[in-house]
Structure 1
Amino acid sequence: MTRSTRPSTRSPRPAGRTRAAFAAMLVLTVLGSSACATRFALPDATETPTPLPDITAEPTVEAIDPRCTRQFPGTAVLLHEGELETRPELWPEVPSWAVLCATEWENDATQVAWYATDEGISRAEIYRYYEHEMAGYGEYGRAETADGEISTGVFPPQHSFYIEATRDQYRITWSIDGDYAD
């Protein structure tokens, strides 16, 4: 057997010291584990059972609002306002009597959001709510179209919009199409 002729950078340890250190670690490990076993013993069992979680309960799953399935059968999906990419940051919150049900893109800069309302909410109530909530933020007015009256306007800094409502539902169309800042 040939040995390497290159010098080693490690200094050799005496065999006796290595064995003594190993033996000391082994003794401490055995003593330490037996001390832990007696120091942290499990408590005695009691008559009172610990309640267990109910594993038979179904997990809570968010569902499509019934107003959506009633107004937009087959097209309603579970959506959140934060998913609307063209909605202006300061746009009014959705009223408590309405829920977002669907969205679509007309082009790269125009998104439409479809909302269902509680039964009996009129077109006038929908327009009044948004016009009141937009006071001080945007410019708006009413206009006649072939489909009836709409609420339309601009919402700074770069959005135009229109709201088209019928009984129990409405749609808001936002377009990013200009610079409307003062």
Structure 2
Amino acid sequence: MERKITLTRKTFETDIELTLNLDGTGQCAVSTGVGFFDHMMTLFTKHGRFDLTLKAKGDAVDNHHVLEDIGILLGKAFAEALGDKAGITRYAFQFTPMDEALCRICIDISGRSYLVYDVPLTREYIGEFETEMLEEFFIAFANNSKMTIHVASLYGRNNHHIVEGIFKCFGRTLKQAVTIDPNVKGVPSTKGVLE
């Protein structure tokens, strides 16, 4: 079964289209208008070995509308591409170092959206990326993918390294969670559904 999807989202504030292939090779073509975030999405897809095409235009207010809406649409894309979730690994966690920083992400594709976020950053911006938008992106993604996600920066001094480590870790952890495990028969839940 092909786990690939194309979605669009158009509001008064944003215009976004994306194509996601869960079983890709890490190919990425991203243009969001926020250079640092483009870099983060490229790292995410490379380390998660997802294929992602993403074009987004936001209003000129700030990063908030476009980055939150990307989180919404990307979360929906994962939820829809996973279908009934039969055979997936479901749970995954990773630790990822980035120079002096160490990040941890834990994921449960549970059908229940929940975010635990513990990433203390000390700068307001990295390039034109507003650092408070990192949490907003993950809130939007968790709510729309219906996943439980724990995101933590265990330590680090350089904000760029911390955020980069988080996106690499996110890709690696999500890949592990969505991987089809030949030993899993049906949906990996005693309920029989993950919704």
Q: Settle same-fold status: TM greater than 0.5.
A: no
> Which one has a larger percent helix, Structure 1 or Structure 2?
2
Higher relative contact order (CA 8 A, sep 6+): 2
Q: TM-score, normalised by structure 1?
A: 0.32
